[in-house]
Amino acid sequence: MTDDKELETIKKEKMKDLMKKTETAKKPSEPITVTDATFKEIVEKNPAVVIDCWAPWCGPCRMVSPIVDEMARDNSGRITFGKLNVDENPDVTGNYSIMSIPTLLVFKDGKLVDRIVGAMPRPMLEERINRCIC
C-alpha cells in the first residue's frame, strides 16, 4: 500500500513540474528574430511557423512588417512568427531561393507548405496562412 501512495506522490510532483514548464514555455506574442544559425531549430521546434523574409531598404517589407507584428500578437500560442533579414542571412535566403521580398515562408510540422511573395492586405495573408496551417 505504501508503494501506491509513493507512486501517487511522485506522479503529482511530476505533473506540477510539467505544468510549470508549460507555463514558462509560452509562445511569443511578437515576431522573433531569425538568423541562419537559429532558422532550423525554430522551424523544427514549433508546429506552425511563418518567417517574414525582409530587408530594411525594402518599401513593401515595411508595409508588411506591422501586419506580421499584429498577426503574431493575435496568434500567440498557435503560430510562431519570425523575421529574417535577407541581407544578413545568405544561407536561408539561398537555400529557399528567395529572389523577391517580402517573402513569407509558411511551415507546418517542419515542412515548407507555402511561400507568399509580395505585400498584400492582412485578410489575404491570414487566409493563405490559415489554409496551410489549419
Mean confidence (pLDDT) of the chain? 90
Percent of the chain with pLDDT over 90: 76
Residue 10 clears pLDDT 70, i.e. is over it: yes
List the catalytic residue out of 53, 58, 132, 134: 58
Give pLDDT tens digits for 43-62: 999 999 999 999 999 999 99
Question: Cα separations (Å) of 86 from 23, 61, 69, 121?
Answer: 33, 11, 18, 22
Identify the band that residue 7 occupies on the pLDDT scale cut at 50, 70 and 90.
Answer: confident
Mean pLDDT of 104-132: 96
Question: Cα separations (Å) of 23 from 11, 18, 20, 29, 68?
Answer: 18, 9, 5, 14, 24
Which residue, 74, 76, 73, 80, is CA-closest to 107?
80
Give pLDDT tens digits for 66-83: 999 999 999 999 999 999
> Is residue 37 helix, strand or coil?
coil
Specify whether 58 is catalytic: yes
Residue 22 clears pLDDT 60, i.e. is over it: no
Specify whether 61 is catalytic: yes
Domains of the chain: 30-133 (3.40.30.10)
In the prediction, which pLDDT does 19 show?
A: 61
List the catalytic residue out of 53, 61, 132, 134: 61
Cα torsion 118, 119, 123, 126 to 10°: value is 50
**Rounded to 5°, angle at Cα 99 from 94 and 101:** 115
